[in-house]
Amino acid sequence: MPGMVLGGRYQVQDKIGTGGMATVFRGHDEVLGRTVAVKTMLPQYATDPSFAARFKQEAQAAAALQSPYIVSVYDWGKDADTYYIVMEYLRGTDLKSGIRKHGALDCKKVAQIGSQIAQALSVAHKHDIIHRDIKPQNIMVQPDGNIKVMDFGIARAKNSHLTTDNSVLGTAHYVSPEQTQGKELGPTTDLYSLGIVMYEASTGQVPFQGDDAITVALKQVNEQPKPPSQLNPAVDPSLESIILKCMQKDPAARFQTADELYRTLRDYLAGRMQSVNSATALLPAAATTALDRTGATGATNALPAVDRTGRFRPQSATEQAADQEAERAHKKKRNIILGVVGALALIAVIIFAVTSMLGSSTTAKAVPNLLGYTQDEAVQKIEEEGFEVGSVNSKYDSSVAEGKVCDQDPAANLQMPEGSTVNIWVSKGAEPAEEVEVPDLTNKSAADAESALEAVGLVGKVGSEEESDDVGAGKVSSQDPKAGTTAKAGDTVTFHLSTGPSQVVVTNVVGDDESTATSRLKQAGFKVSVQSVSSSSVSKGTVVSTDPGVNTSADKGATITLYVSSGPESVSITDVTGWSYADAKAELEGAGFTVKLASGSSAEGIVTKQSATGSATAGTTITLTTQAASTDGTGADKNPTNGGGSDAGSGTNGTSNSTSANSSNG
């Protein structure tokens, strides 16, 4: 298969997965130039008409579903003997792998994932499509934290001829009791499976385990799950009650629509506990029919009792006996009431018959069907049929056009005495969605932005990435609609993630004066700081270098450091008077100065004068004046080498002459 081109445009690349009846490849759409996922039916099924019909139905059903939380189907077809479906290519990991790697998720994340799956199921159910195989393996968690529901491979439309096969098609750990028993399935079967997905996400394990699929399936029918908080104490009671309501054995005791479950999870995320408690109020336990391994049926156990926290606890034998006694009393009371009602009904019949025999003048007529009429038309119809117009009311009804009658009392075709009053309700159209304020998503991660939107009933969508000088990479830099504006609950808010600041080349300002360099860099979008450095080669006030260096790239808005020359460095001058010229010269040249001997001075003399004192810049010329060692007793050597002083000695001619302190006679 790799290397083939299907439908003249989809090049098949490497295999990325295999399912029960198909293989999935990474592919390339040569027309639109994008990566896609290509699902192809396994060869052994391609010649089977029933599997081909199922494959075709999957493609048609999935292609009709448009939701940010459902994998998109772009195309489908048949090329030679190969049936294929072209889908959105997803990056990320499936929820099952995530739970295996990280264990139980926190309650808010579980609710966020659950609410997104519920929104996906709502779209499918409105198209009369039941997924039938909701499980973590079919939930892809994308890099931005949002999910996509995948694989409608066993999904069925309610009106499909393929629904006659009600065999267990899902995975045993996630199937509903009615799916196990081969009963007719409705939207609540997907909600049961979603409840198990949230159970596993919040505890790290599935509620029912066994050695084989049959054992697990029987537990789905017969056993109550342990409350999630018993496996993970971090699960709070409100989320636990939502999960356990999804997992009720009786479909009528569960949430009845995916929208209802979504709204409850949204209220939970928003902290509206009163709404959650109201939505998860437990219904009376209802008996269901269970199957044993032989196929025999038997009554299942009643639901366990509930403690003050709203969590399930096992019933004791005493409590079970009390419940049974209460049930018997209830039935007895019901039978008495039914007997009284029956007697009253009999009396009414007798009265009606007697009245008829006495020739009552009141004629019974069928109430006309007024639905779909305008108010004026309905009033006219009521009067034409011999009835009286009662109250005219109005209410919201999304299924009936505004201005048309959407309800009536008495109901249409009911036999009523002529002249009876008929009340009508005129539709105001669909109820307007609640208006909410759009939150500020700036600097939030994609997951946090999604949570903030869900908390107020809005839907988040990740738009294109964009550069931002003010927002770090991976955070929200802009959104549409803007923060603070109003939107209707259910509206989509598109937010864009920052790739960080744009990169700008650092302008070459070396050799410019400080003012010019600062102006040029600011015009390029940088901030500027200045540091002084001494330089004997660059004039004072001129830029010596920059950091980062010139002609390199830096983030727009980054700070560029200018190193500006303060001129040559000033050096302290040592006082060398009284030193020998040779020592003085070595000292000053070592400090960076140039030494010059004054005219008429001897390099063998003692320094008596220097042209500069204090400090001067390196390289400055200092002139030294010297004087030969004194021979008249007035200029004794100040740098003796033999410890001698300025003592006068005896000349060889007997006269009293001063001699050098450095003389040979010491």
Would you call 79 a catalytic residue per the annotation? no
Architecture, CATH, for domain 364-427 = 2-Layer Sandwich (3.30)
Top pLDDT among 558 and 45 is at: 558
Nearest to 501 by CA among 525, 522, 529, 530: 525
Which residue is it, tokens 């109901």?
Answer: 411
Q: How far is it, in rounded angstroms, from Cα 191 to Cα 245?
A: 10
Q: pTM to 2 decimals?
A: 0.45
For the segment 592-616, the average pLDDT, to the nearest whole number, is 91
> What does the pLDDT look like over 343-398, one tens digit per residue?
554 554 454 444 444 444 456 788 899 988 999 999 999 999 899 998 899 888 87
Mean pLDDT of the chain: 79
Q: What is the pLDDT of residue 399?
A: 75
Q: Quickly count: other Cβ atoms within 10 Å of residue 119's Cβ.
A: 24
Q: What is the pLDDT of residue 330?
A: 54
Maximum alpha-carbon separation in the chain: 188
Q: What is the pLDDT of residue 165?
A: 39
Cis peptide before 548 (omega within 30 of 0): yes
Helices (H), ranges, 461-605: 514-523, 581-590
Q: Is the pLDDT of residue 185 over 50?
A: yes
Q: How far is it, in rounded angstroms, from Cα 488 to Cα 436?
A: 6
pLDDT class of 299 with cuts at 50, 70, 90:
very low
For the segment 269-290, the average pLDDT, to the nearest whole number, is 67
Tell the CATH topology of 93-313: Transferase(Phosphotransferase); domain 1 (1.10.510)
Phi, psi of 496 (to 5 degrees): -110, 135
**H or E element at residue 58:** helix 49-63
Q: 347 by DSSP, 3-state: which?
A: helix
Q: 180 near 291, Cβ under 8 Å?
A: yes
Binding site for ATP, by residue number, is 39
Spelled out in words, what is the top-level CATH class assigned to the domain 503-565?
alpha beta
Same topology, domains 5-88 and 503-565? Answer is no
Top pLDDT among 398 and 169 is at: 398
Q: Quickly count: other Cβ atoms within 10 Å of residue 83's Cβ.
A: 21
Sheet strand arrangement including 606-610: 594-597, 621-627, 606-610
Q: What is the pLDDT of residue 321?
A: 46
Residues above pLDDT 90, as percent of the chain: 40
Q: Is the pLDDT of residue 35 over 60?
A: yes
Binding site, by residue number, is 39
pLDDT class of 640 with cuts at 50, 70, 90:
very low
> What does the pLDDT look like over 51-67, one tens digit per residue?
777 777 767 777 778 88
Tell the CATH topology of 5-88: Phosphorylase Kinase; domain 1 (3.30.200)
pLDDT class of 409 with cuts at 50, 70, 90:
confident
Spelled out in words, what is the top-level CATH class assigned to the domain 570-657?
alpha beta
For the segment 230-256, the average pLDDT, to the nearest whole number, is 95
Top pLDDT among 294 and 220 is at: 220
Nearest to 20 by CA among 133, 187, 121: 133
Residues above pLDDT 70, as percent of the chain: 79
Spelled out in words, what is the top-level CATH class assigned to the domain 435-497?
alpha beta
pLDDT class of 643 with cuts at 50, 70, 90:
very low
Q: What is the pLDDT of residue 293?
A: 36
Contacts for 101-106 with beta carbons within 8 Å, 24 or more apart? Answer: 103/204, 104/201, 104/202, 104/203, 104/204, 104/232, 104/234, 105/201, 105/202, 106/234
Instruction: Name the active-site residue from 29, 48, 79, 133.
Output: 133
**Dihedral (C-alpha) 579, 580, 585, 591: value to the nearest 10 degrees?**
-30
Residues in the chain: 666
For the segment 116-138, the average pLDDT, to the nearest whole number, is 92
Q: How far is it, in rounded angstroms, from Cα 115 to Cα 264?
A: 9
The residue ranges of every structural domain in the chain are 5-88, 93-313, 364-427, 435-497, 503-565, 570-657
> What does the pLDDT look like over 77-126, one tens digit per residue?
888 888 889 999 988 888 998 998 889 999 999 999 999 999 999 999 99
Q: What is the pLDDT of residue 337?
A: 54
For the segment 447-463, the average pLDDT, to the nearest whole number, is 90
> What does the pLDDT look like over 504-558, one tens digit per residue?
889 899 999 999 999 999 988 889 999 988 887 888 899 989 999 888 888 888 8
